[in-house]
Every structure is written in structure tokens, then in C-alpha cells.
């Protein structure tokens, strides 16, 4: 891989993989996946993707092996606390959150555990891959517990007798259910985020990185956006525009053969629900059309 190509690290196989690849596809990248399945080579942009363990992503960005990475806020926060403990700034920058991969870091106890509240945690052994986030959560509540740091298979620690309860990521909850564990406290809310190296790169590469970030931002913005078109009596326009969620300046166009009615076109930056359409109709609108927005460049 040429040093002039941007390298983006994403999770190899997990919660964030599919949507991370979908995001780069929506940014215009066409890629072919290498035989080893560990690299996706960009065919039309100077961008290649490395598929790695999510916990390794900040390290790869920090060591300058990758320029960008998509990883959960949970992993980012744990790394940040690790550097804060050494009184140094983390060697990566968070660029933006990505609005997918939502999950939470939560405390979960075995079904038979009698949990009456945080005080029940005193002196207990808690298994986790996030010892620093958990340590901070306990400290701010004045609780002392024994943190058992594990790099994986946290959910089976209580069964193995290594811990009394766990602190792990929960998204659908199926891992907890399969291990007969019950969620009792949320420690951190998480979603995917983009990080970048603070190390300066060549100007050609920087230019492509900036373009990619603008495209990612555009993809983010259109996710919920809709283009709405309708007909309305002129007199009803103030009421109707007030009903459009997150739209700034609608376009008003004349309609052939009538002075009293106009056409209105607007971009709504929030989802448009059936309830909104019903209210628009009640306010006098007709011929209402709602279209998805594919791309947007502010
Ligand atoms: C997390 C966590 C659980 C699972 C929870 O793993 O460790 O195993 O997701 O999801 P669920 O509530 O939908 O069952 P992650 O994706 O971070 O993979 P990793 O732990 O192997 O890095
Ligand atoms: Zn992980």
C-alpha cells in the first residue's frame, strides 16, 4: 500500500463492520476485498480499509499505521482515560460521531444476584474490558469494588467463578440473555465515531482526507433528511412552513392556471412522519410527496 493512500481502520467482524463499510460506500468508494479478507482496496479513490479488532483501532491510528479509524466511543473513552492517567494527550483526535452502532456499557448481574442498587457493588469482583471507565464510574459514586480486567469473554466470568458480576457492552441484549445475566446500571452510552491521526500528512493526502470527511458529514446529514413537495393555498403558507421539521428556506413556485395556490419544495432535516403529513393536509396542503435525499453538500 502506497504511503500516499489514506488508510482507514474498521472493525473486522462485529457490530460496526457492515455500517462502516456502508458509510464508505455512500462516500463514493468502490473497493475489492483482498483474499485474506483483512484489507479492502479502494478502486476509484486513494483510500484502503484495514479490517482489525476494534480494540486495536486507536493504537493503529496513534502509531500512524492508519490515518483514520471508525470505532465505538467506549473504546475511545477507555483509551483517553489510559492517556489521562499518564498525564498525556491521546495521540488521536475524535472527528465526529457517526450515528450508528449505538450500544451501552452496562453492569449486569447473574439472575440470582440480589441487586438493590449501587451499594450492592461494594467489595464485589466486577469483570470488564473497560477497567478505567468502570473505575471512574465507581469512584464518582464513592464505591470500592474489585475490578477484574479481562480482554475478552467477559460474559462467562461469573460462571467461571472469576467475578460476581460484569460490566460489558450491551446492544441487543442477546449476549446477556444467553448467559443468564441481568442488566442493572448504564455506565456509558456509546455509538460509532471517526478518529484521525494528529500527525501531519502530505498535502495531496490531506486534501483527500478533507474531501472524505466532508462526504462523511454529508452522509450523516442526509440519513434522516427528506425532500418534501406539496401544493398549498398562499394563505396557508405560514402554518404549513411551521409544520415542516427542520427546514430552513422552502422554495415557493407558481402553479400554472392558478394564483391562489402555489407549490412548496423544502428539505426537512428530520424524518417526516405520517402525523406530520396529516397535519399538513389539515392545514390545507395537497399533492404531498416525500422523497429520500441521496446526497447533500452544504
Ligand atoms: C460486544 C460485547 C458483547 C456483544 C453484546 O462485543 O462484548 O459480546 O457486543 O451485543 P448484544 O447485546 O447484541 O448481544 P463487541 O462487538 O465489542 O466485540 P468484541 O468484544 O469481540 O470486541
Ligand atoms: Zn471489542
Asked whether residue 144 is domain-assigned, the answer is yes
Asked whether residue 114 is domain-assigned, the answer is yes
CB 75 less than 6 A from any atom of ligand 1:
no
Residue 198, pLDDT > 80, answer yes
**Which residue has the least CA distance to atom 7 on ligand 1?**
169
Q: How many A from CA of 79 to the centre of ligand 1?
A: 18
**Helix or strand or coil: residue 286?**
strand
Instruction: Give the count of beta carbons closer than 10 Å to the beta carbon of residue 272.
Output: 23
Rounded distance, CA 169 to CA 187, Å?
10
Q: What mean pLDDT is reported for the chain?
A: 94
For residue 103, the ligand closest to its alpha carbon is 1
Q: Domain range holding 264?
A: 226-292
Residue 1, pLDDT > 70, answer no
Residue 273 pLDDT level (bands cut at 50, 70, 90): confident
CB 269 less than 6 A from any atom of ligand 1:
no
Asked whether residue 298 is domain-assigned, the answer is no
Instruction: Please give the pLDDT value at position 113.
Output: 95
Rounded distance, CA 276 to CA 279, Å?
5
Contact 176, 103 (CB under 8 A): no
Count of structural domains, the chain: 3
Instruction: Please give the pLDDT value at position 121.
Output: 96
CB 169 less than 6 A from any atom of ligand 1:
yes
Specify the pairing of strand 226-233 against strand 258-268. antiparallel
- Regarding whether 15 and 81 lie in a shared domain, the answer is yes
- Regarding whether 282 and 141 lie in a shared domain, the answer is no
- Regarding whether 166 and 125 lie in a shared domain, the answer is yes
- Regarding whether 211 and 174 lie in a shared domain, the answer is no
**What is the H or E stretch that residue 258 is in?**
strand 258-268
Bridge partners for 80 per DSSP: none
CB 264 less than 6 A from any atom of ligand 1:
no
**What is the H or E stretch that residue 206 is in?**
helix 203-222
Instruction: Please give the pLDDT value at position 297.
Output: 83
**Helix or strand or coil: residue 92?**
coil
Which of 168, 190, 212 finishes a domain? 190
172-198 average pLDDT score = 96
Q: How many A from CA of 43 to the centre of ligand 1?
A: 31
pLDDT tens digit sequence for 109-165: 999 999 999 999 999 999 999 999 999 999 999 999 999 999 989 999 999 999 999
Which of 221, 238, 265 finishes a domain? 221
**Which residue has the least CA distance to atom 6 on ligand 1?**
169
**Which residue has the least CA distance to atom 2 on ligand 1?**
169
| Phi, psi dihedral angles at 260 (to 5 degrees) | -85, -30
CATH number for the domain that contains residue 198: 3.40.190.10
- Regarding whether 136 and 156 lie in a shared domain, the answer is yes
| Rg of the chain over all Cα atoms, to the nearest angstrom | 25
Asked whether residue 21 is domain-assigned, the answer is yes
Residue 174, pLDDT > 70, answer yes
Residue 105, pLDDT > 90, answer yes
Asked whether residue 1 is domain-assigned, the answer is no
Q: How many A from CA of 111 to the centre of ligand 2?
A: 24
Contact 269, 198 (CB under 8 A): no
> Which atom of ligand 1 is nearest the CA belonging to 55?
22
Q: Which residues contact 81 (CB under 8 A, 6 or more apart)?
A: 132, 133, 136
3-state helix, strand, coil in the chain (%, to 5): 30, 35, 35
Instruction: Please give the pLDDT value at position 221.
Output: 84
pLDDT tens digit sequence for 35-87: 888 999 999 999 999 999 999 999 999 888 999 999 999 999 999 999 999 98
> Could you give the angle at which helices 203-222 and 17-26 cross, rounded to 10 degrees?
110
Sheet holding 47-52, edge to edge: 31-33, 39-42, 47-52, 6-11, 68-72, 192-196, 93-97
Q: At CA 107, angle to CA 104 and CA 109, rounded to 5?
A: 135
Instruction: Please give the pLDDT value at position 63.
Output: 85
CA 235, 286, 225, 105 dihedral sign is positive
For residue 166, the ligand closest to its alpha carbon is 1
17-45 average pLDDT score = 93
180-189 average pLDDT score = 97
For the entire predicted model, the pTM comes to 0.84
Give me the half-sphere count of Cα atoms (radius 13 Å) on the Cβ side of residue 235: 2
Residue 246, pLDDT > 80, answer no
Amino acid at each position: 500500500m502506497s504511503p500516499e493512500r489514506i488508510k482507514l481502520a474498521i472493525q473486522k467482524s462485529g457490530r460496526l463492520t457492515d455500517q462502516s463499510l456502508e458509510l464508505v460506500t455512500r462516500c463514493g468508494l468502490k473497493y475489492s476485498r483482498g483474499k485474506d479478507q483483512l484489507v479492502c482496496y479502494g478502486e476509484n479513490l486513494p483510500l484502503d480499509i484495514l479490517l482489525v479488532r476494534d480494540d486495536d483501532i486507536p493504537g493503529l491510528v496513534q502509531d500512524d499505521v492508519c490515518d483514520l479509524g471508525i470505532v465505538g466511543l467506549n473504546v475511545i473513552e477507555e483509551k483517553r482515560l489510559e492517556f489521562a492517567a499518564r498525564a498525556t494527550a491521546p495521540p488521536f483526535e475524535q472527528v465526529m460521531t457517526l450515528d450508528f452502532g449505538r450500544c451501552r456499557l452496562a453492569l449486569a448481574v447473574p439472575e440470582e444476584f440480589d441487586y438493590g442498587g449501587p451499594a450492592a457493588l461494594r467489595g464485589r469482583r466486577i469483570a470488564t474490558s473497560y477497567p478505567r471507565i468502570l473505575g471512574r464510574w465507581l469512584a464518582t459514586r464513592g464505591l470500592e469494588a474489585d475490578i477484574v480486567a479481562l480482554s475478552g469473554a467477559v460474559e462467562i466470568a461469573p460462571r467461571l467463578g472469576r467475578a460476581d458480576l460484569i460490566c460489558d457492552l450491551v446492544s441487543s441484549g442477546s449476549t446477556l440473555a444467553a448467559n443468564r445475566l441481568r442488566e442493572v446500571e448504564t455506565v456509558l452510552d456509546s455509538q460509532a465515531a471517526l478518529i484521525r491521526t494528529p500527525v501531519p500528512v502530505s498535502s495531496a493526502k490531506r486534501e483527500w482526507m478533507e474531501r472524505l470527511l466532508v462526504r462523511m458529514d454529508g452522509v450523516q446529514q442526509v440519513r434522516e433528511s427528506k425532500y418534501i413537495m406539496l401544493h398549498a393555498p398562499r394563505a396557508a403558507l405560514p402554518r404549513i412552513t411551521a409544520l415542516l421539521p427542520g427546514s430552513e428556506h422552502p422554495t415557493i413556485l407558481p402553479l400554472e392556471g392558478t394564483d391562489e395556490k402555489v407549490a412548496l419544495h423544502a428539505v426537512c432535516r428530520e424524518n417526516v412522519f405520517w402525523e406530520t403529513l396529516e397535519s399538513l393536509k389539515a392545514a390545507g396542503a395537497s399533492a404531498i410527496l416525500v422523497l429520500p435525499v441521496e446526497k447533500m453538500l452544504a
